[in-house]
Amino acid sequence: MPERHTLELTGRASSATVRPRALRGRTAGRHAPVRIGGLPITAATLAEAADHMVEAALAARRRPGRPLYVTSANGQVIALCHQDRAVRDLFLAADVIHADGQPMVFASKILCARPLPERVATTDLVHDVMRRSGAAGLRHFLLGARPEVNERAVEHLRHAYPDVPEIAGHHGYFRPAEEDAVLDAIERFRPDVLWVALGVPLEQRFVMRNRERLASVGVIKTSGGLFDFLSHAKSRAPRFVQDVGLEWAWRLAQEPRRLGWRYLTTNPLAAWLLLSRSGD
């Protein structure tokens, strides 16, 4: 299937045509990636990231093909990619990797000639994309989380953004034998943006397994625990806690049993990788 990733990034000094893969590498420029913790991270603001997704989704309507694959990394992902080559390949296959962790932004400010402008958390990005989706007429599909959480997340977005034409969803606890039916439902809905929230690395595997088949989708964004936050099943850290890079500690305090061991083992490795594998 032909690649279909040429798009205009509007509102910039240079309105040259930019290929998303170039966002990760070959063409230098404001959005070229920087190496953070060993991964190529796109240097974009939240607003630029949202513009990019909307423009890619609109471009995809004109030229259907393989959807744009946008994912995000944080300290846990950086550690996991270091430990597991297969997981690393899932991330390197993405067209865009955003920095969903304030410590990554701090590391880039110390170690990179061209630091990341800001954190691009999916929990913020979703609102920037939704705010643009009414005027753009974009349709959204939310895949993932427990059924009641998924339903509440869909309801929340419909209520918050009534001008967005259509928002639908499906829970993320289907059996492998049911995946075909889930893909059929997504294809019938023809979303411009598909938010896949199954956790790392399930969601990245889902994208790689099904990207070619989901040709009617414009953009796929992996979303981790996004729907748990949208549905208010979990609460986000206060802004000042996020800003000092301690959102992980807030999550740990909320779910010590589930996250304690994970953070104990991955945080020191992530810190070392951030300090030793960042820089242009």
- The C-alpha atoms of residue 39 and residue 37 are separated, in whole angstroms, by 6
Overall size of the chain counted in residues: 280
- The C-alpha atoms of residue 82 and residue 37 are separated, in whole angstroms, by 9
Nearest distance in Å: CB 217, ligand UDP: 18
Return the sign of the alpha-carbon dihedral for residues 98, 258, 151, 177.
Answer: positive
Nearest distance in Å: CB 256, ligand UDP: 13
Q: By the criterion CB under 6 A, which residues form the site for ligand UDP?
A: 144-146, 172-173, 197-200, 202, 224-225, 227-228
- The C-alpha atoms of residue 130 and residue 44 are separated, in whole angstroms, by 18
Instruction: Report how far apart, in Å, the C-alpha atoms of 192 and of each of 108, 141, 145, 270 are.
Output: 32, 8, 20, 34
- The C-alpha atoms of residue 265 and residue 63 are separated, in whole angstroms, by 44
Give alpha helix (H) positions in 118-234. Answer: 122-136, 147-160, 179-189, 202-210, 226-230
Nearest distance in Å: CB 247, ligand UDP: 12
Nearest distance in Å: CB 101, ligand UDP: 12
Contact 243, 102 (CB under 8 A): yes
Output 174 or 272, the one with its CB closest to ligand UDP.
174
Contact 245, 74 (CB under 8 A): no
Instruction: Report how far apart, in Å, the C-alpha atoms of 66 and of each of 2, 5, 54, 212 are.
Output: 7, 8, 16, 6
Nearest distance in Å: CB 157, ligand UDP: 15
Output 72 or 278, the one with its CB closest to ligand UDP.
72
Output 85 or 175, the one with its CB closest to ligand UDP.
175
Output 116 or 198, the one with its CB closest to ligand UDP.
198
* Helix and strand counts by DSSP (H, E) for the chain: 13, 10
Nearest distance in Å: CB 19, ligand UDP: 30
CB closest to ligand UDP, residue no: 172
CA 154 to the chain's CA centroid: 18
Nearest distance in Å: CB 8, ligand UDP: 33
Identify the residue whose tokens are 């959807």. 67
Nearest distance in Å: CB 82, ligand UDP: 17
Output 109 or 258, the one with its CB closest to ligand UDP.
258
Output 78 or 111, the one with its CB closest to ligand UDP.
78
- The C-alpha atoms of residue 137 and residue 154 are separated, in whole angstroms, by 17
Output 60 or 157, the one with its CB closest to ligand UDP.
157
Output 154 or 197, the one with its CB closest to ligand UDP.
197
